[in-house]
Amino acid sequence: MLCNQENISTRFLFILSIICTIVFSTTAAFAETRYIKPSTEAVVRRGQGNKYKIVAMVKAGLKVEFVEEGTTHTKIRLANGKEGWIVKRFLSKEPPLDKIVASLRTENETLKQKEIEASQKFDAVNETLAQTTQELDATIAERDQIQADFLKLQHDTEDVVLIKKNLEKTLKDYRQLSATMSVIQQENDTIKDDLAFKWFLAGGGVLVFGMIIGSIFTKSRKRKPSLL
């Protein structure tokens, strides 16, 4: 029984802590912001009135957290967590003009810096684009040259094949012509041999004929009487 009560107490405390956390977070999330107006006597006291002890002296433009609205004073919370009351006329929902100007200047400087960075990035992108365009043009030119070389090589290959066929045909014709010339040469040699033999026979016949004529002429001279 005692254990059950302790468990229930533990659970209750756990749930209570969660509720407190949620409430605190919600309150913090909806906390309003106030700004200290320019003044020489902006003091934060423990209560509403000059009779209360001073908690802090606040500077103009300081951002504080609104806690509670009073009759003549407003309860605020400083950045260090201290709380106190300040005269209402020293508070404003809008930041001071110098803060606004400073904020605008800072924002302007930030925008200028972003503009410079954007311009630099734009220039870098343009440079990259120009370089990429040049590389693309070079690649296209190289592709066109390779295509032209391929077509020329294909044409030259066709010419080589044709030349090879013509060469094979010419070689075949040459072999046939060589064989024909060989036969003609043999026939020519045979004709020459026959002609030489015929000339030999003719010469021999002429010689024999001359010898016969000479013999007859000699005999006729021997038979002719002398005129003396």
Q: Output the pLDDT for position 145.
A: 92
Q: Which of 57, 89, 93, 51 is nearest to 73 (CA)?
A: 89
The span from the CA of 77 to the CA of 90, in Å, is 14
Q: Output the pLDDT for position 74.
A: 94
pLDDT in tens, 144-167: 999 898 888 888 888 888 888 888
Alpha carbon 223 to chain centroid distance?
A: 130
Output the CATH code of domain 29-95.
Answer: 2.30.30.40
The span from the CA of 116 to the CA of 120, in Å, is 6
Q: Where are the domains of the chain?
A: 29-95
In this prediction, what percent of the chain has a pLDDT beyond 70? 79
Q: Output the pLDDT for position 98.
A: 66
Q: Output the pLDDT for position 29.
A: 40
pLDDT in tens, 81-138: 999 999 999 898 888 776 677 778 888 888 888 989 998 998 999 889 998 999 999 9
**The pairing of beta strand 83-87 with beta strand 54-57:** unpaired
pLDDT in tens, 50-77: 999 999 999 888 899 999 999 999 999 9
The span from the CA of 225 to the CA of 228, in Å, is 9
The span from the CA of 27 to the CA of 23, in Å, is 6
Determine phi and psi for 226, rounding to 5 degrees. Answer: -85, 140
More confident residue, 156 or 48: 48
